[in-house]
Copies of this chain bind each other. A is one copy, B any other.
Amino acid sequence: MEQTSGLSRRHFIIAGAGAGVLVSNTELGLGFGTAALAQDKPLPGYVSWKNAKAMIVHSSKTLETKRNFFGTSGITPADELYVRNNLPEPSDEIVANRDAWEVTIEGVKKPGTMKLGDLKKLGITSVAMVLQCSGNGRGFFTHKASGSPWQVGAAGNLLWSGVPLRAVAAAMGGVAPGAKFITGTGGEKLPAGLDPKKVMVERSVPLAAMNDAVLAWEMNGSPVPLAHGGPLRLVLPGYYGINNVKYIKKLAFTGKETDVNIQRSGYRVRPVGQKGAPNQPSMWQMTVKSWITNPLKESAKGPVQIYGVAFGGTDAVRRVDVSTDGGKTWKRAKFIGPDLGKYAWRTFVLSADLKPGTYTIASRATDAKGKTQPEKFVENERGYGHNGWAAHAVKVTVV
């Protein structure tokens, strides 16, 4: 797979050298070339239940959904959802008796440890939200950002059920004075011989995330799979994937951000070449974004249903415009299917009558506050947060 990543990146560098030239990511192998190489790599055992045809296996801890597998029904099936783990996942013993899983709550007036079975008594809610890796789109940057060269497939739209974090805090006497962050700690077993702060998954987000936060035990109607954080995951609608801590073992309301590496220097946006530091923006709230999912490479002439997915991130997506001429002209697409709420993505469709030729098809989403995807996106050291519409465009041949 290293070979595949390298290949993909080199193609990008070449293509990126031509200023103003929009790059077809299908030419770059997404869902086709990359997949053809990657499909030789079998699914890792712990996710052998995934749909192998739908996944690009970057490594044992990173699997991407192929662009042509997103569908139009709004929800991403669990067996086609991307996987990104920072540490080896815990033993599946932890999902053998889910209700026995314990989470410690701190920074409340009556701190303590609760079993999942007890959390279930406190209330229940359900929310649809986009789960997206901070590095989704990293493959579109032209510098050699380290990390998986995700294109569009490190994202999915999911239904989660669990207890509102507000209800948990209320049951424990309320949040203690002075709290400014929600700090979640994952239940992974840490590798021996290393400083825990260098490897542990512990993330802090602003306390404002509390409003819609959920301690979730169900995803898409089934118990959360181990690979996706079961038995219990912190779900923070609108926040990048890393903040949605898997196998959550401790949740603390804290006055400061945690000082572990993954928070202090990891997931920080900075210019290429700089090291991560606490004074740089953290990968918290997601931004408005969209991408085409059909057609991707070629199409017959005549009416072509151009569709894709769009979301606002923290705010609802309000509109999507589609261009078939690389951004010179735009037409408004329509949304189909039910509106699953402000944190969900929507499927958009534009019917275009295309004659034989080559088209660069782009989509550009606008959120409820009027923020629109930029054409280009500024390079940053780790390749985070790419939502530029030009790089996400596809080149399609109509015959």
In the assembled complex, which residues on chain B have CB atoms less than 8 Å from the CB atom of A120? 305
Answer whether residue A188 sits at the interface, using C-beta atoms and an 8 A cutoff: no
Chain A interfacial positions (CB closer than 8 Å to B): 51, 70-78, 80, 120-128, 159-161, 218-222, 300, 302-305, 307, 336-341, 344, 347, 349, 351
Q: How far is the CB of A351 from chain B (nearest CB, A)?
A: 7
Quick check: B126 and A76 within 8 Å, CB to CB? no
The answer for the CA separation of A187 and B73 in the assembled complex, in Å, is: 25
Identical copies of this chain, number: 2
Quick check: B351 and A219 within 8 Å, CB to CB? no
Quick check: A161 and B121 within 8 Å, CB to CB? no
Question: Which residue of the partner chain B has the closest CB to A301?
Answer: B121
In the assembled complex, which residues on chain B have CB atoms less than 8 Å from the CB atom of A341? 338
Q: List 11 A-B contacts (CB under 8 A).
A: A72-B161, A73-B126, A75-B159, A77-B77, A80-B221, A124-B349, A126-B336, A126-B347, A127-B337, A127-B338, A128-B338
Quick check: B75 and A78 within 8 Å, CB to CB? no
Given the interface pairs A80-B221, A337-B127, the reply to whether A159 lies near B302 with Cβ below 8 Å is no
Quick check: A222 and B71 within 8 Å, CB to CB? yes
Quick check: B124 and A336 within 8 Å, CB to CB? yes
The answer for the CA separation of A80 and B222 in the assembled complex, in Å, is: 9
Quick check: B222 and A77 within 8 Å, CB to CB? yes
Quick check: B340 and A220 within 8 Å, CB to CB? no
Quick check: A124 and B72 within 8 Å, CB to CB? yes
